[in-house]
Structure 1
Amino acid sequence: MVFRSEYADVPVLSLPIHDVVLGRAAEFGETPALVDGSGGDGALSLSYAQLDALHRQVAAGLAGAGVGKGDVVALHSPNSVLFPVAFYAATRAGAAVTTVHPLATAEEFAKQLRDSAARWIVTVSPLLATAREAARLAGGIAEIFVCDRAPEGNEAGNEAGSGPGVRSLQEFLGTAEPVPDVAVDPATDLAALPYSSGTTGVPKGVMLTHASIATNLAQLEPLVPMGPGTRILAILPFFHAYGLTALMNAPLRLGATVVVQPRFEFDGFLAAIERHRITALYVAPPIVLALAKHPAVADHDLSSLEYIVCSAAPLDAALAEACSARLGLPPIRQAYGMTELSPATHLVPLAAVAPPPGTVGKLLPSTEMRIVSLDDPTKDAPPGAEGEIAIRGPQVMKGYLGRPEATAEMIGADGWLRTGDIGRVDEDGWLYVVDRVKELIKYKGYQVPPAELEALLLTHEGIADAAVIGVDGTDGTEIPKAFVVRQPHAAELSAEEVAAFVAARAAPYKKVRQVEFIDTVPRAVSGKILRRELRAR
């Protein structure tokens, strides 16, 4: 069956993303839009009026440098107050923005430059050496811009005089170039080109149009309203689709204040909540785990918090409850989506009084869903049964850049996008995500969801973090293997104790049959466990 949202449809927003987000900047005027959360009283802050004026000046400078419609600009930066300036300036100049992980190696960066055909790079001074080397390896880069301050050294290029020139975006603040007025087709022109996380394969460029991103913002608004007075801490990276939407585009569209932190450090995170009186957090499960268990939480005043939204990876219901109880907050709101969906399809509404534990929410407006049978992909699963989640709506990506076969494999001719996630829907329309199709462990004909075992392991007082994968057993089947991070006080915790703990609380076929202790669980920035790295150990 086809599930449809209980919310009224929203119209497709056929406007450029910079106009959708900053269209009310004059109305919000001197309201703080962006605040540097890493500094003290003298930290950089931009009002809405300043943000609007600044991005227009930078757009004029970029256009004068040759950036135009159809081009791709690589934005290579940690979170900063100037990240949104560079992003909206590039889209106003007519370019698509491919966001780059700030910790990418020069080789990884060069692969993305080549694949996306980017010709300009915007970076920050500490990452300039990596950007220059990536440009050298990729070739075809016209110019590198540094957005935090004037670059040091030879502005004409590398010290040897080779490679693209380097300029500061600050040079554009007094430009005489006109603000570009580029004709954009929101339905087909790309605004963003993020790369999929690569947790299960080679990263691919996800083509998100102006309309798909903008309409997704309108879809989210009825479920999570915000406005002037809302203060959000941007700790998840803007370069990731989750951060780009939840921490940048959505709040800046509605007049909220975004307090920006360039990197996650737990004590600094807690201090920023206290100092800036943060009202809302958008996080991934590892941060929920820390908020629930870390002793430092007791040393900070977090009473300004009104709600927490968690997404990007499965969150155990018991852990969510422990976190909200410790902080004295309403139940943590989960959300669901993926980069290929611009990125959101489900959210637990802020207005929900007692949402059922473990749910990732209800369908956003203008969104349809099917639960496809795992045994017969041509059929839907019976009501209430588990199956693969398929989504159709205006937020579905245009496709994977230069990969028509991969696009066709994921999006059918009828527009349904197969997510690869396993879920079920209860009688009230709440969605529960069980696991990834490709991550299910097949043990003697049984299907074992790793996320279920991970949630169980985290209830052990001696376990700080855990991940589970399937490994080859002696009889040709897969067996569950747990990678466990001990709590500091549980240095003597043994593999036998871990296995016995699971065996006493799970069905026999779900037993953990191998245990390995590790220092940290490898995760993507989004919080997703990088199981491919565990398999490579």
Structure 2
Amino acid sequence: MSLLHPDARLVDAVTGDVLGGAALTAEVAAVTAALAGLTPGVVFARMSTDAAAVTRYLGTWDAARPVALLDPALPGRTLADLVDRFAPAVVLGLDARPAVGEAEKAVAEAPEGYREIGHPVLGRLWERETPPEFPPHPDLGVLLATSGSTGDPKLVRLSRSAVLANTAAIVDALGITGAEVAASTLPFFYSFGMSVLNSHLSAGATVLLESGGLTARPFWTAVNAYGVTSLACVPYQYEMLRRLRFDPAKYPTLRTLTQAGGRLRPELVADFHQRMAAVGGRLFVMYGQTEAAPRLTTLPAGRLADKIGSVGPAVPGGALSVRLEDGSETTEPGVTGEIWYRGPNVMLGYAETAADLALGDEQGGVLRTGDLGRLDEDGYLYISGRLKRFGKVFGVRLNLDDIEAMLRDRGPAAVVSGDDKVVVWLEGADEETARGTATDLAERLNLHWSGFDIRATDALPLLPNGKIDYRTLEAAS
């Protein structure tokens, strides 16, 4: 089944070019036909925010070839390492450009065993000279990296049916129709960005391709010029919107905000709910993981006011439960444990090598999220932190997410574990704020203030998906 509705459109915010209907269908079909003449197997695609990248992705999907969506800002050496590990048959988008504001990284020469081609339809690409040793599993649809552009990421193996199931569930939960116009506020190689793309194109809606970002004036000009109806943002972007004094009344067509990609502070949920409600709009709070293709829950906008702090019930077709330390599972209200999810959108498993791409379903439709939470009497989920986000101070085990929650009134903050200390990174903190923060945490947690190392930063480091880059902070701590 295709991800592309016949009425879907792509609009380039810079040029105003529109690609839709029969013309878009034809370009996607041309990609599908071109791939038929290349080495069979997995396709790697560098996903910039432009129509060429989107048509390559859709055409690869229609060719029933698994596609890994990659950050175009990956250094050439990193891309070559991934190719060496996973032995894709084809690498597309070698001329893809990273988003505005990101350093462009040179792509290396074709690795050993590959030839470089300047294809008339597909552009510059690498083709494997021989078929891969391990043909991909026939159910495999999309591969997404687990850790942005840093580290040594595993790939999440999503089946075609999982991607389609979650796409349909989100169209249903958000009521997406062909009248919607979604702006590309998130990169398409990030699972939330991919989901926005999939759900709108499959519903026959329009996707506005704009890579400048929320802080750039041309972005907001484009919102009005092209009648954008919805924005999808992660928590850090909502922090930015508040600093920008976002007023939805300035954008008459904008009536829907969606949020996922981490926990949004309850006061910001209430704030943006009120801003949107004042103009007859909606805010949807969601919870997702790449391993679920990616969205697990949606809090209906109509229930948000009386469910502040919740991320809602499971998406259509899914089910939530809480697993306790004794191994039992429950849906009993108020019981806290690890959140488990069951649904048709759960991944097949992870891949760390090329051989793993041939594996089938290792999850059985069950996702152990690694997050802690509880359900209420209506089946609405409340997340309290990560199962493994802990540190020790003077032998006392502390939940780092709980400490971050204590710091909400101090602005953007990130907490990591140091050498018998908790290291707190605060944006824009001065010396007085640092001392006060250490004293406050010591009093609240009944520990000596020297167990808290408070550090100032101009801006918290972020992964390409907008989440805090804890690995970089840990390395600097």
Please classify the TM superposition score into its range, dividing by the shorter chain length.
0.7 to 0.9
* Residues in 1 aligned to 2:299 and 2:293: alpha-carbon distance in whole angstroms: 18
Which residue does 1:165 correspond to in 2?
117
Superposition deviation, residue 286 in structure 1:
0.9
Which residue does 1:304 correspond to in 2?
253
**Number of residues of Structure 1 aligned to a counterpart in Structure 2:** 453
Match of 1:58, as an amino acid?
V
The change in CA–CA distance for 1:187 and 1:349 in structure 2 (over 3 A counts) is: farther
* 1:437 equivalent in alignment to 2:384: no
* 1:104 equivalent in alignment to 2:77: no
Contact 1:78 1:263 in 2 (8 A): no
Superposition deviation, residue 318 in structure 1:
0.8
- Cα distance per residue 1:410-468 (max 9 Å; x no partner): x98765321111111112211112221121335578664433433443423xx4x2111
Superposition deviation, residue 166 in structure 1:
2.5
* 1:230 equivalent in alignment to 2:149: no
* Residues in 2 aligned to 1:86 and 1:298: alpha-carbon distance in whole angstroms: 36
* 1:76 equivalent in alignment to 2:28: no
Which residue does 2:128 correspond to in 1?
none
Contact 1:292 1:326 in 2 (8 A): no
Match of 2:460, as an amino acid?
V
* 1:250 equivalent in alignment to 2:220: no
* 1:34 equivalent in alignment to 2:7: no
Superposition deviation, residue 188 in structure 1:
4.2
The change in CA–CA distance for 1:107 and 1:56 in structure 2 (over 3 A counts) is: same
Contact 2:66 2:143 in 1 (8 A): yes
The change in CA–CA distance for 1:98 and 1:382 in structure 2 (over 3 A counts) is: same
The change in CA–CA distance for 1:229 and 1:277 in structure 2 (over 3 A counts) is: same
The change in CA–CA distance for 1:485 and 1:132 in structure 2 (over 3 A counts) is: closer
- Cα distance per residue 1:304-349 (max 9 Å; x no partner): 2212111111111112222343454656321112111111111112
Superposition deviation, residue 502 in structure 1:
5.0
The change in CA–CA distance for 1:403 and 1:115 in structure 2 (over 3 A counts) is: closer
Which residue does 1:317 correspond to in 2?
266
Which residue does 1:181 correspond to in 2?
none
Superposition deviation, residue 266 in structure 1:
1.0
Which residue does 2:291 correspond to in 1?
340
* 1:397 equivalent in alignment to 2:339: no
* 1:498 equivalent in alignment to 2:437: yes
Structural mapping, 1:105-504, within 5 Å: 105-123=75-93, 125=95, 127=97, 132-133=107-108, 135-136=110-111, 139-142=112-115, 164-169=116-121, 188-197=138-147, 202-246=152-196, 248-267=197-216, 268-295=218-245, 297=246, 301-326=250-275, 328=278, 332-352=283-303, 354-373=305-324, 375-377=325-327, 383-401=333-351, 415-442=365-392, 448-460=398-410, 463=411, 465-473=412-420, 479-486=421-428, 493-500=432-439, 502=441
Match of 2:17, as an amino acid?
L
The change in CA–CA distance for 1:412 and 1:168 in structure 2 (over 3 A counts) is: closer
* Residues in 2 aligned to 1:171 and 1:395: alpha-carbon distance in whole angstroms: 32
Q: CA RMSD in A?
A: 3.3
1:287 is paired with a residue whose SS is: helix
Match of 2:259, as an amino acid?
C
Contact 1:348 1:355 in 2 (8 A): no
1:271 is paired with a residue whose SS is: helix
Contact 1:288 1:320 in 2 (8 A): no
* Residues in 1 aligned to 2:33 and 2:226: alpha-carbon distance in whole angstroms: 33
Match of 1:79, as an amino acid?
T
Which residue does 2:131 correspond to in 1?
none
Superposition deviation, residue 33 in structure 1:
0.9
Which residue does 2:462 correspond to in 1?
523
**TM-score normalised per structure 2:** 0.84
Contact 2:53 2:93 in 1 (8 A): no
Contact 1:187 1:211 in 2 (8 A): no
**TM-score normalised per structure 1:** 0.76
Q: Percent identity?
A: 26
Superposition deviation, residue 263 in structure 1:
4.3
The change in CA–CA distance for 1:122 and 1:225 in structure 2 (over 3 A counts) is: same
The change in CA–CA distance for 1:447 and 1:318 in structure 2 (over 3 A counts) is: farther
Which residue does 2:130 correspond to in 1?
none
